[in-house]
Chain A
């Protein structure tokens, strides 16, 4: 999902969009790709990918297939495959993933655990 960085690419086949003036509180469970540009408090879990915009503010645990993080996240992040942390990201929490990239300027305060990527895991 995040191989190409164009804005259009990030919302391809998106199931849920939490826009900039939206605040979601509670446990959000999805199946598809999710874009967060607003505020999210609680937990976010999806079998798809998560794109967290540069101005998003998240106080939640996140579980997803892949992720691109550009905003502020307070909470633990568990990603099955690849996580991309952009320069604008501020993360306060632990990250678990199979592979990652961190852009210069990003803030990451937490423990980082790399787990081997399981080949039998199929993205649903």
Chain B
């Protein structure tokens, strides 16, 4: 059975029409399933774990990047709790006009269009990164001010100017240089550091305050600023970031990797 998990923000009047269109499209495609509506009282991890145990065919996140992150964390946690590799694929139906960068990067169109992607069921096994006790699929971001990076206990990186640090598994920002467009299937993270806010650069240029490292594990330390995962959730530091898990994800033909 397909399990559709509606984030709490979509259960508002603003999205009534969008949800109606999505549900009609899903019915037309014969992809009906169970709907779970997230709310304050519902434990998402428990709900997802129960559905996986009951043999869910697909877990579909209906919402935005934050929803995708919550569901990924729930699926991975279910795998850890039950000491198994979860094969159930994650589907995504983006709702709303903002904060759907993950879906866009995976080639999933909005609302009804996402139904067609679900129907095509093109599955890719993608790396999932871990930061502290949380998981993310796209990138971890933190301000460079006061940040120290320790790389696999071999060396440390100190950033001497204000800027931004991105640890990228799946690059959701299309304006990043080609070299920083990480491949989410290679078990490697790209560490991209840009100091001094300047013009957007589509080509990597060392003399323009851009730095790039490829690595498997690093520790981020910053006493003041948090790390933002998947453009949605914040975690505090110190946090070790690594890429050591994977997840089946339904992607579109127009994916950017």
Contact = CB atoms under 8 A, between A and B. Distances in A.
B210 A19 contact: yes
Contacts of B207: 7, 20, 37, 53
Given A17-B204, A19-B195, A25 B158 contact: yes
Contacts of B210: 17, 19
B interface, over-half SS: strand
Contacts of A37: 206-207
A11 to B, nearest CB: 6
Contacts of A11: 204-206
Contacts of A14: 179, 204, 212
Interface stretch (B42-50, B57-65, B149-157, B234-242): B149-157
Contacts of B211: 17-19, 22, 38
B229 interface: no
A15 B159 CA distance: 19
Nearest to B212: A17
Interface stretch (A27-35, A75-83, A85-93, A109-117): A27-35
A69 B214 CA distance: 23
Nearest to B196: A21
A77 B154 CA distance: 20
B85 interface: no
A35 B208 CA distance: 13
B41 interface: no
B163 interface: yes
A24 B156 contact: yes
Contacts of B151: 26
A27 B155 contact: yes
Nearest to A54: B207
A105 interface: no
Contacts of B206: 11, 17-20, 35, 37, 53
A122 B113 CA distance: 50
Interface string B152-173: 0011111111010000000000
Nearest to B157: A24
A69 to B, nearest CB: 15
A23 interface: yes
B15 interface: no
A19 B209 CA distance: 5
B193 A19 contact: yes
Contacts of B257: none
Interface of A: 7, 11, 14-29, 35, 37-38, 42, 53
Interface of B: 151, 154-161, 163, 179, 193, 195-196, 204-207, 209-214
What are the nearest 3 A-B pairs in CB distance?
A: A26-B155, A19-B211, A21-B161
19 contacts: A7-B205, A14-B179, A14-B212, A17-B206, A18-B206, A19-B206, A20-B206, A21-B160, A21-B161, A21-B196, A22-B157, A23-B158, A24-B155, A25-B158, A28-B154, A37-B206, A37-B207, A38-B211, A53-B206
